[in-house]
A and B are shown apart, each in its own frame.
Chain A
Amino acid sequence: MSQLHLELSSVGIDFPTPKGPFSALHDVNLKIMQGEFVSLIGHSGCGKSTVLNIVAGLYQATLGGVILNGREVNEPGPERAVVFQNHSLLPWLTAYQNVELGVKPVFKGKKTKAEMREWIEHNLELVHMTHALHKRPDELSGGMKQRVGIARALAMQPEVLLMDEPFGALDALTRAHLQDSLMEIQNTLGNTVIMITHDVDEAVLLSDRIVMMTNGPAATVGEILDVKLARPRNRLALADDTEYNGYRGAVLRFLYEKQKKVEPITVKRTEKPAEQFAVENTSITESKQVA
Chain B
Amino acid sequence: MSVLSSKFPALTMGKISPEKIRDLMLGVIMPMVGLVFFLIFWQVGAQNIKTSLGTFPGPKEVLAQWSNLVDEHKTERKREADFYTHQTTRNAEALAQDPAAEIKVRKFSRHPTFFDKIKTSLITVLCGFFLASIIAIPMGIFIGLNQSLYRAFNPIIQIFKPISPLAWLPLVTLAVSSAYQSESPLFAKSFIISVITVMLCSLWPTMINTAVGVAGVSKDLINVSRVLRLSWFTHVRKIVLPSSIPMMFTGLRLSLGIAWMVLIAAEMLAQNPGLGKFVWDEFQNGSSDSLGRICVAVLTIGIIGFMLDRTLLAVQSWANWDKSAIVR
Residues of A within 8 A of B (CB): 56-58, 76-78, 80-82, 84, 86, 88, 90-93, 101-102, 104-106, 138, 152, 156
Shortest beta-carbon contacts, A-B, top 6: A92-B321, A92-B242, A88-B220, A82-B227, A102-B228, A76-B226
A78 / chain B contacts, CB cutoff of 8 Å: 228-229
Question: Is B123 an interface residue when CB atoms closer than 8 A count as contact?
Answer: no
Contact A76/B229 with A92-B242, A92-B321 known, Cβ cut-off 8 Å = yes
A90 / chain B contacts, CB cutoff of 8 Å: 221, 224, 238-239, 242
| Interface of A: prevailing SS | loop
A-B contact pairs, 23 of them (CB 8 A): A57-B226, A58-B226, A76-B226, A76-B227, A81-B227, A84-B223, A88-B224, A90-B224, A90-B238, A90-B239, A91-B321, A92-B242, A92-B321, A92-B322, A93-B238, A101-B228, A101-B234, A105-B229, A105-B230, A105-B231, A105-B234, A138-B322, A138-B324
Contact B220 A86 (CB under 8 A): yes
By CB atoms of chain A within 10 A, which of B220, B226, B227, B234 has the most?
Answer: B227
CB nearest to B229 among chain A residues:
A105
B224 / chain A contacts, CB cutoff of 8 Å: 84, 88, 90
Instruction: Please give 4 more A-B residue pairs, beta carbons under 8 A apart, in addition to A78-B229, A86-B220, A93-B238.
Output: A76-B226, A91-B321, A92-B321, A105-B228
A88 / chain B contacts, CB cutoff of 8 Å: 220-221, 223-224
Q: Which of B223, B228, B239, B242 contacts A58 (CB 8 A)?
A: B223
A101 / chain B contacts, CB cutoff of 8 Å: 228, 230, 234, 238
Contact A156 B228 (CB under 8 A): yes
Q: Which of A58, A92, A104, A138 contacts B227 (CB 8 A)?
A: A58
Within 14-63 of B, Cβ neighbours of A (below 8 Å) are at none
Give CA–CA (A76, B228) in the complex, Å: 8
B228 / chain A contacts, CB cutoff of 8 Å: 78, 101-102, 105, 152, 156
Give CA–CA (A76, B229) in the complex, Å: 7
By CB atoms of chain B within 10 A, which of A77, A80, A105, A106 has the most?
Answer: A105
Shortest distance between the CB of A225 and any CB in chain B (Å): 29
B242 / chain A contacts, CB cutoff of 8 Å: 90, 92
Q: How many contacts A-B (CB < 8 Å)?
A: 50
Give CA–CA (A101, B242) in the complex, Å: 14
Give CA–CA (A152, B230) in the complex, Å: 14
**0/1 interface trace, chain B 222-262, chain A, CB 8 Å (1 if under):** 01101111110010001100100000000000000000000
Give CA–CA (A105, B226) in the complex, Å: 12
CB nearest to A89 among chain B residues:
B224
B231 / chain A contacts, CB cutoff of 8 Å: 105
B227 / chain A contacts, CB cutoff of 8 Å: 56, 58, 76, 80-82
Shortest distance between the CB of B141 and any CB in chain A (Å): 17
A93 / chain B contacts, CB cutoff of 8 Å: 238
Shortest distance between the CB of A90 and any CB in chain B (Å): 7
By CB atoms of chain A within 10 A, which of B228, B231, B238 has the most?
Answer: B228
Give CA–CA (A102, B227) in the complex, Å: 9
Give CA–CA (A207, B38) in the complex, Å: 74
A92 / chain B contacts, CB cutoff of 8 Å: 242, 321-322
A106 / chain B contacts, CB cutoff of 8 Å: 229
Shortest distance between the CB of A195 and any CB in chain B (Å): 16
Give CA–CA (A156, B230) in the complex, Å: 12
Shortest distance between the CB of A149 and any CB in chain B (Å): 9
B226 / chain A contacts, CB cutoff of 8 Å: 57-58, 76
A77 / chain B contacts, CB cutoff of 8 Å: 229
CB nearest to A162 among chain B residues:
B227
By CB atoms of chain B within 10 A, which of A82, A90, A156 has the most?
Answer: A90
Shortest distance between the CB of B41 and any CB in chain A (Å): 47
B234 / chain A contacts, CB cutoff of 8 Å: 101, 104-105
Shortest distance between the CB of A2 and any CB in chain B (Å): 29
Give CA–CA (A78, B225) in the complex, Å: 11
Shortest distance between the CB of B321 and any CB in chain A (Å): 3
CB nearest to B241 among chain A residues:
A92
Shortest distance between the CB of B248 and any CB in chain A (Å): 14
B321 / chain A contacts, CB cutoff of 8 Å: 91-92
B220 / chain A contacts, CB cutoff of 8 Å: 84, 86, 88
Shortest distance between the CB of B195 and any CB in chain A (Å): 34
Shortest distance between the CB of A152 and any CB in chain B (Å): 8
B239 / chain A contacts, CB cutoff of 8 Å: 90
B238 / chain A contacts, CB cutoff of 8 Å: 90, 93, 101
Give CA–CA (A88, B234) in the complex, Å: 17
A81 / chain B contacts, CB cutoff of 8 Å: 227
Give CA–CA (A90, B230) in the complex, Å: 13
A80 / chain B contacts, CB cutoff of 8 Å: 227
Give CA–CA (A77, B230) in the complex, Å: 10
Give CA–CA (A77, B228) in the complex, Å: 7
Give CA–CA (A102, B224) in the complex, Å: 9
By CB atoms of chain B within 10 A, which of A56, A88, A105, A156 has the most?
Answer: A88
Give CA–CA (A78, B229) in the complex, Å: 7
Give CA–CA (A88, B228) in the complex, Å: 12
Give CA–CA (A34, B6) in the complex, Å: 63
**0/1 interface trace, chain B 197-228, chain A, CB 8 Å (1 if under):** 00000000000000000000000110110111
Give CA–CA (A213, B230) in the complex, Å: 33
Contact A91 B230 (CB under 8 A): no
B229 / chain A contacts, CB cutoff of 8 Å: 76-78, 105-106
Shortest distance between the CB of A10 and any CB in chain B (Å): 25
Shortest distance between the CB of A40 and any CB in chain B (Å): 18
Contact B322 A91 (CB under 8 A): yes
Give CA–CA (A13, B222) in the complex, Å: 21
